[in-house]
Amino acid sequence: MTASIVKTICPFCGVGCGICLKLDERQKLVGVEPQLSHPISRGKLCDKGWSTAYAIDPENRITQPLKRIKDKFRPISWDEALLSIGDSLKAILDEAGPEVVGVISSARATNEDNYAAQKFARAVLKTNNIDHCARICHSPTVAGLKQTLGSGAMTNSASDIYKTDLIVVIGADPTENHSILGGHIVDAQRKGAQLIVIDPRVTRLAKVADIHVQLKPGSNIALINAMLHTIIAQQWHNQSFIDARCEGFEALTSNVEQVTPESVESITGVSAELVRQVAKAYSQANSAMIMYGMGITQFVSGTQNVIALANLALVCGQMGRPGTGINPLRGQNNVQGACDMGCLPNVYPGYQDATAPEVQSKFAKSWGEEVASKPGLTSLGMTKATLSGDFRGLILFGEDPVVTDPDQNHVKASLKALDLLVVAELTMTETAKLADFVLPAASFAEKAGTFTNCERRVQRISQVLAPPGAAKSDWQWLKALAEQLGSQQLSWETSEQVFDEMATLTPAYQGMTYAGLDRHQGLQWPCNQDAPMGTEILHRDSFPIGKAKLLPVRYIDIDEPADEQFPLVLTTNRLHFHYGCGSMTRKSPLLERETPAGVLFINPHDAKALQLQRYSPIGVRSRRGYLETRAMITDDVPPGLVSMPYHFKEAPSNQLTNTAQDPITKMPELKACAVSVFPLPPNQAPKTVQQLWEEK
């Protein structure tokens, strides 16, 4: 029987739906229901939201600090854990200085946890080696939109979906991954908005779209530049918006002058006729909004792809009004927040340049502490430096890079080579298994704090349950570790104190308090003196950098095209019922029943050539790794392209993926690498990578 119901926010994706946790008389979590009046979810939740109780079930949790002795973990007290970790860190720092240690924080944890993590790195360890999963997610958005518009976030709001005439979804699969927004998109289309989906796969949204542009993987810039060519040639651009608000139109025009739709047909696989149709529809709509995701960012051309999209929106004046804008669908529940909090090696909270002396002295003065001065490493930079002996101690929480970073064998080798690996987790992940110390972390329901969703809405989460066993909030164990190292920099008593300190130093959050957030069902940044009620639409009258910058970009091929040895291109995607490394969704029997294992999606044409039947066991090989799984034969992927989810540790697509990187942000090319696929004997069950490792 339900005894009480407490409102909080869903801990999975960046939509930030409002959920209610239901407790029985013993204060045990017994279920979940949607918040009826929530501004985004409006009384709905997707299957993951409904399954939250399984994700944090105390039965499956780490409840005490653990120390690894050879291959076994021994439970220890917090005092012993902090003492040993502190001694280890001190020894490394004394020997090799702050450049060889770092922190990887979590886009699943709160703003307060993330603010504490970057302060721990910069003011306690004195290093800018701080990063998180945004590196391999929307770092090209942060860099690309910062250059063009001055702010790397969704320009408009979720409710704009109902205010627009045309929605372009490019490189995103929102019915699977931002399901409540996906539902709003379908709804808006039913009410009259036109829907264009640009994706190499036939996604569920592509099936209902007015137009599906099935481009070849990695050809975004060729397509967008051909659209720009058409728009400018046909005078469909918005000259008055360009004159008043943009710089660089001449250079952009000459950059696309030769890029006719015909000239790129062989690159994109899209007919010139269709390019013209889409260019006309987008540029001539009264209001049109672009929504995009990993099919734009996860390429060596990631930042350039984002810039190309910004060029398109600006030239058409689809910006700064309701139902317009460029809208990155930020992925994790708090990835917008973890970036805002400065858990990136190059920026402090509020995107303040970490290498600028005035920024360093602002924070040093406010914290009363000398701060890190040298530029920091990215997450993959830390992995690489470990293998060359230049990085030795990593504190990581709420990420599972063994499953989610590219080139799994390389990641594993690197984590094993560390002198010290500390992992704070809810449960025993593949990464935690490699740690020297595993710390028990409180889940979202066991702590107070805030999450910032994809539309920049900062929302409060409440502590509903006691943490299981000795688990602590991430900021709390970071505070204890700082004290162990002799620093009082993290000596807050409540999460509200963390938030208040952060807000004074982060211009876009300056006008926010817990009380204000509660009163308004969250507030969208910037929220400050000029905008005390927050901001639904960015760039209405001007850009933070004055005029927006139109920046010419050129098509860049994928790093590893198919060849004779590896004749298929592998792309990786998500499935509705599972999330990230699977550690939270695979605890739910309901979600696990829907999709219990990884598969490789392959076109009937390629399946026939390889003599595969439905569910045939197969081996998949790339230049970096090998895995076994089963074939799922479907027209949803075109010939030549195969696709795999990355949620399944038994058959993780990151065993195969490429680490080639976008030179600007170090984003690896997770959306394309070359593989070969071959049938296994029909009666042989696919082996898990764990079994394959044991055999080695």
Name the residues that contact ligand MGD, by CB under 6 A.
13, 106, 108-109, 133, 136-137, 170-173, 176-178, 198-201, 203, 215, 217-218, 220, 293-295, 298, 329, 331-332, 397-401, 404, 424-427, 429, 441, 443-444, 474, 571-574, 576, 578-581, 583-584, 646, 653-654, 657, 670-671
Residue closer to ligand SF4, measured from CB, 13 or 600: 13
601 binds, among ligand MGD, Mo ion, ligand SF4, none (CB under 5 to 8 A by kind): none
13 and 453 in contact (C-beta within 8 Å)? no
Size of the site for Mo ion (CB under 5 A): 2
**Which position among 7, 13, 268, 652 is part of the footprint of ligand SF4 (CB under 6 A)?**
13
Does residue number 670 form part of the binding site for Mo ion (CB under 5 A)?
Answer: no
Give CA angle at 653 (649, 654), nearest 5°.
85
**Which position among 39, 49, 328, 376 is part of the footprint of ligand SF4 (CB under 6 A)?**
49
Helices 111-119 & 474-484 angle (0-180, nearest 10):
20
Does residue number 137 form part of the binding site for Mo ion (CB under 5 A)?
Answer: yes
200 binds, among ligand SF4, Mo ion, ligand MGD, none (CB under 5 to 8 A by kind): ligand MGD
180 binds, among Mo ion, ligand MGD, ligand SF4, none (CB under 5 to 8 A by kind): ligand SF4
Q: Which residue reads 């910062």 in tokens?
A: 146
652 and 627 in contact (C-beta within 8 Å)? yes
Site residues for ligand SF4, 153-182, by CB under 6 A, read: 178-180
Q: What single letter denotes the amino acid at residue 553?
A: V
State the minimum distance, in angstroms, from the CB of residue 65 to ligand MGD.
13
Residue closer to ligand SF4, measured from CB, 302 or 580: 580
Nearest CA-CA partner of 172 in 15, 23, 46: 15
- Element spanning 645, H or E: strand 641-645
SS3 call for 91 = helix
CA atoms of 610 and 601, how far apart (whole Å): 13
Q: What single letter denotes the amino acid at residue 241?
A: F
Nearest CA-CA partner of 583 in 138, 9, 12: 12
CA atoms of 288 and 265, how far apart (whole Å): 25
CA atoms of 686 and 633, how far apart (whole Å): 17
Does residue number 16 form part of the binding site for ligand SF4 (CB under 6 A)?
Answer: yes
**Given the DSSP bridges, would you call strands 600-602 and 568-573 parallel, antiparallel or unpaired?**
unpaired
Q: Which residue reads 């569910």 in tokens?
A: 615
Residue closer to ligand MGD, measured from CB, 199 or 501: 199
Q: Which residue reads 């929302």 in tokens?
A: 459
Stretches 82-90, 181-189, 329-337, 560-568: which one binds Mo ion (CB under 5 A)? 329-337
- Count CB neighbours of 250 within 10 A: 9
629 binds, among ligand MGD, Mo ion, ligand SF4, none (CB under 5 to 8 A by kind): none
Tokens representing 374 are 């040298």
φ and ψ at residue 454, rounded to 5 degrees? -65, -25
Residue closer to Mo ion, measured from CB, 290 or 667: 667
State the minimum distance, in angstroms, from the CB of residue 649 to ligand MGD.
11
Longest dimension (CA), the chain: 71
- Count CB neighbours of 502 within 10 A: 25
CA atoms of 653 and 407, how far apart (whole Å): 9
Residue closer to ligand SF4, measured from CB, 56 or 275: 56
Residue closer to ligand MGD, measured from CB, 101 or 584: 584
Residue closer to ligand SF4, measured from CB, 17 or 548: 17
Residue closer to Mo ion, measured from CB, 404 or 427: 404
478 binds, among Mo ion, ligand MGD, ligand SF4, none (CB under 5 to 8 A by kind): none
Residue closer to ligand MGD, measured from CB, 93 or 396: 396
Residue whose CB is nearest to ligand SF4 in the complex, by number: 49
What does 276-325 look like in DSSP terms, one character per residue? HHHHHHHHHSSSEEEEE-HHHHSSTTHHHHHHHHHHHHHHTT--SSTT-S
State the minimum distance, in angstroms, from the CB of residue 586 to ligand SF4.
15
Residue closer to ligand SF4, measured from CB, 204 or 433: 204
Stretches 27-35, 109-117, 170-178, 327-335: which one binds Mo ion (CB under 5 A)? 327-335
CA atoms of 145 and 168, how far apart (whole Å): 18
State the minimum distance, in angstroms, from the CB of residue 191 to ligand SF4.
20
**Which position among 48, 201, 586, 587 is part of the footprint of ligand SF4 (CB under 6 A)?**
48
**Contact set with Mo ion (CB under 5 A):** 137, 331
